[in-house]
Amino acid sequence: MRIRIISEGKTKDAHLRALQADYASRIAHFTDFVLEELRPERKAGNGRGERMSTTDQRLLEKLHGSTKVLLDERGREWTSEDFGKWLGQQALRGTREVAFLVGDRRGFRPPSGSRLTCCFRCLA
């Protein structure tokens, strides 16, 4: 099973980038892992309006056929144990790819028909 984390923009803090690289190397020992950073939009987005931003549309286009998980402050808060069980169940079911979507500071507003599997809460 492949795990993808797709986010908008690059992590600017060198310490956080080092942590990302460390965790990516740890995860890669167990499964295929991809960390992708999309170039952010140049013009101001529509905030939390009804229409999706171009970046949000690009995120969803990359994930056709994937199990999509939105990381958002409005999502469900899980313990590490619950999350591990859920991820293990995905692997046992034969899921080919789980994609975690990280929006920009305004959040991520998927279209009504996007079929997100679940929404997890990001803890700061």
Q: Residue 79: which CATH number? A: 3.40.1280.10
Most confident of the following: 53-57, 63-67, 120-124: 63-67
Contact predicate 71/104, CB 8 Å: no
pLDDT band at 97 (very low <50, low <70, confident <90, very high): very high
The answer, as to whether pTM is greater than 0.85, is no
Domain span at residue 75 reads 2-120
Of the given ranges (14-28, 77-91, 106-120), which has the lowest mean pLDDT?
106-120
State the Cα–Cα distance between residues 18 and 89, nearest whole angstrom.
Answer: 29
Number of domains the chain contains? 1
Q: Residue 63 pLDDT more than 60? A: yes
**For residue 65, which phi and psi values (nearest 5 degrees)?**
90, -5
Average pLDDT estimate for 54-64: 70
Q: pLDDT higher for 111 or 79? A: 79
Average pLDDT along the chain: 77
